[in-house]
Amino acid sequence: MKRFGITTAITALFLAGSFTSIASTTTLEKMDTEPLEMTLQDEFTEVTVDDVPQAVKDGVAKAYQGAEIDKAYVNTVKIYKLEISDDVKSNTVYFDESGKELEL
């Protein structure tokens, strides 16, 4: 009976040590990362509303019913910065050239 008790105790200590070892090896370390700079907003050039692709106009009409495009800007990667307004408020929104709204 003593042998069973000793074997059980040794097994328990071994398992406890294994779990501690596993726990210590799965600890995540904090990574030092710099925030991603968004330079897309700084490099926009004003264009006329007529120069905005129809897909972008359709995207605005679908997402913001009743809104009109007051001013439009585009950057080198064809992201459109649009100042839109309706009877109540104005907003600045971003769309890609296919008409998909972007959150920048």
The 10s digit of each residue's pLDDT in 49-100 is 999 999 999 999 999 999 999 999 999 999 999 999 999 999 999 999 999 9
Question: What's the whole-model pTM score?
Answer: 0.60
Residue type, 68: E
Supply the Cα-derived Rg of the chain in whole angstroms.
Answer: 30
Residue 16 CB neighbour total at 10 angstroms = 10
Q: How many structural domains is the chain composed of?
A: 1
How far apart, in whole angstroms, are the C-alpha atoms of residue 19 and residue 88? 61
Give the domain CATH number at 68: 3.10.450.360
3-state secondary structure of 11: helix
Q: Per-residue pLDDT for 17 more than 80?
A: no
Domain assignment present for residue 50? The answer is yes
Q: How confident is the model at residue 20 (pLDDT cuts 50, 70, 90)?
A: very low
Which residue range forms the structural domain that includes residue 58?
Answer: 40-102
Cβ proximity of 92 and 98 under 8 Å: no
% residues pLDDT > 90 (the chain): 57
